[in-house]
């Protein structure tokens, strides 16, 4: 049933070389928005979902990269115009998700049961 939902008019695109231009290919402006609208089929179900503003795609929980590192080898992002002293001595440089996870395990007994992957969902 899925494949029949998207069956519609067949659209063919091609390029034709102009013999008077010594075989050079002629380029034309491509309106991608128009192409999408001409070739996109909106089913009744999808239309209802859009009318009622339901989410069509969702990733939950949102994907977050959990960084791990050796002691005092955190990733630091800075601009090339920043002074090195200011970058290294910034308050947030030493704090990462991993170091905060270790600190939370020391302070709060409830976090001991959480894995590193579960920590941002429960505590952030």
Q: Are 55 and 75 in contact (CB under 8 A)?
A: no
CB contact at 8 A, 120 and 64: yes
| pLDDT of the chain, 124 residues: tens digit per residue | 444 444 555 555 555 555 666 656 566 677 888 777 777 777 888 888 888 888 777 766 666 677 788 887 888 778 888 888 888 787 777 788 788 888 888 998 888 888 877 877 777 6
Look up the pTM and report it. 0.40
Is the CB of residue 66 less than 8 Å from the CB of residue 116?
yes
């Amino acid at each position: 049933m899925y494949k029949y939902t998207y069956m519609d008019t067949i659209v063919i695109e091609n390029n034709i070389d102009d013999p008077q231009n010594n075989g050079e290919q002629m380029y034309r402006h491509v309106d991608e928005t128009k192409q999408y609208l001409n070739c996109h089929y909106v089913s009744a179900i999808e239309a209802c979902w859009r009318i009622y503003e339901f989410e069509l795609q969702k990733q939950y929980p949102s994907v977050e990269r959990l960084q791990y590192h050796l002691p005092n080898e955190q990733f630091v992002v800075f601009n090339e115009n920043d002074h090195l002293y200011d970058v290294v001595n910034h308050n947030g440089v030493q704090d990462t998700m991993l170091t905060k996870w270790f600190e939370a395990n020391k302070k709060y007994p409830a976090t001991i049961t959480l894995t590193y992957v579960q920590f941002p969902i429960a505590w952030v």
